[in-house]
Amino acid sequence: MTFRQVSELVKLRIGIMIAATAVTGYAAVADELRTAPALLLALAMLLGSGAAALFNHVCDRDIDRLMSRTRARPLATGLVRPADALGLAGLLMATAMTVAVLAFNWVVALHLFLGAFVYGIVYTVWLKRRTWLNIVVGGAAGSFAVLAGAAAVEPTRWLLPALLAVTLFLWTPSHFWSLAILLADDYRAARVPMLPVVAGIGRTAWAILFNSVLLVASSLAPWLLGVAGPAYAIAAGAAGLLLLGLNLALALRPGRKLAGWNFAASIPYLLVLFAGIVVDRHW
């Protein structure tokens, strides 16, 4: 496998987001930010995410061939053998678990494993081809990253990380359903029951808005419960209002253009929440 093929198979951009999520969980409970633990945590999560992504590619290689966005992926084209991808996935996961246990504790390793398991088995194998709820349940995969980051400091300090995990869980449908509107034709061709395929773009747009109301409410819970301060509240409130405004525009005028804007805004929204936690806790 070439470096380019590996970087595509491990879904590097998603891995970086997972690593950032874990570091945010670390920052949420740490009294002092230290570079070495944060980097080791990010490495473990990046490796674990890469392993889960490789497994996802192996399982989805048949439907990847049917979608214009994915038909050039290395496993879909046959440039990489499934056995080689699975071997690399096993190596990455074993390394990630080893780093998590040796550098931190078994709770971090458990959360890392559970995140990969939910994405690889629960989402990819069990739900993706069966129900439109696939991404709703599968969204729990990202939540384990923030719990792993918090456990790297102190596994018993659970309230703020748990609230952030709920927010991450609710973020995934709003983020992914916007993308699914853009890719509805691809999913329809591959017979994957994503919400826009099952319910249409209009109903999906309203589902995004409803979900985001819950998302923004959950994002303010740390401030309302007194475990986050005004800096975080301002960041969460301002970002939430912008996201809801875009969601409402999409619900009123459903279409690909506004779906693209909603998808593009969802990632900065999450990064603003991450930054708000770090600033609130450490500056």
Q: Are 93 and 117 in contact (CB under 8 A)?
A: no
pLDDT in tens, 217-266: 999 999 999 999 999 999 999 999 999 999 999 999 999 999 999 999 99
Q: Can you tell me the distance from the alpha carbon of 261 to that of 196, in angstroms, rounded to the nearest whole number?
A: 17
- As given in the structure block, the two tokens for residue 219 are 């994002």
Domain(s) labelled CATH 1.10.357.140 in the chain stretch across 1-105+140-153
CA distance 101 to 217: 35
Q: What is the pTM of this model?
A: 0.93
Q: Band of the pLDDT at 4, cuts 50, 70, 90?
A: confident
Cβ-contact 275, 235 below 8 angstroms: yes
Give the C-alpha separation, 233 to 224, whole Å: 9
d(CA 47, CA 26): 17
111-121 pLDDT, tens digit per residue, is 999 999 999 99
Domain with CATH 1.20.120 in the chain: 158-283
- Whether pLDDT at 91 is above 80: yes
Contact in structure between 9 and 49 (CB atoms under 8 Å): no
- CATH 1.20.1600.10 fits domain 1-105+140-153: no
pLDDT-derived band at 76 (thresholds 50, 70, 90) equals very high
Q: Which CATH class is domain 158-283?
A: mainly alpha
Inter-axis angle of helices 256-282 and 12-29, nearest 10: 30
The whole-number average pLDDT for the span 152-174 is 93
In the chain, how long is the greatest CA-to-CA distance?
Answer: 53
What average pLDDT does the chain have?
95
Helices (H), the chain: 3-9, 12-29, 35-59, 61-64, 74-77, 82-103, 106-117, 134-138, 140-151, 159-182, 184-189, 195-199, 201-224, 230-252, 256-282
DSSP-based three-state secondary structure for 60 = coil
Residue 2 has a pLDDT of 80
- Asked if residues 73 and 25 have their Cβ atoms less than 8 Å apart, the reply is no
Contact 118, 141 (CB under 8 A): yes
In the block, residue with structure tokens 């609710």: 170
**Which residues, 6 or more positions from 17, have their beta carbon under 8 angstroms from its beta carbon?**
142, 267, 270
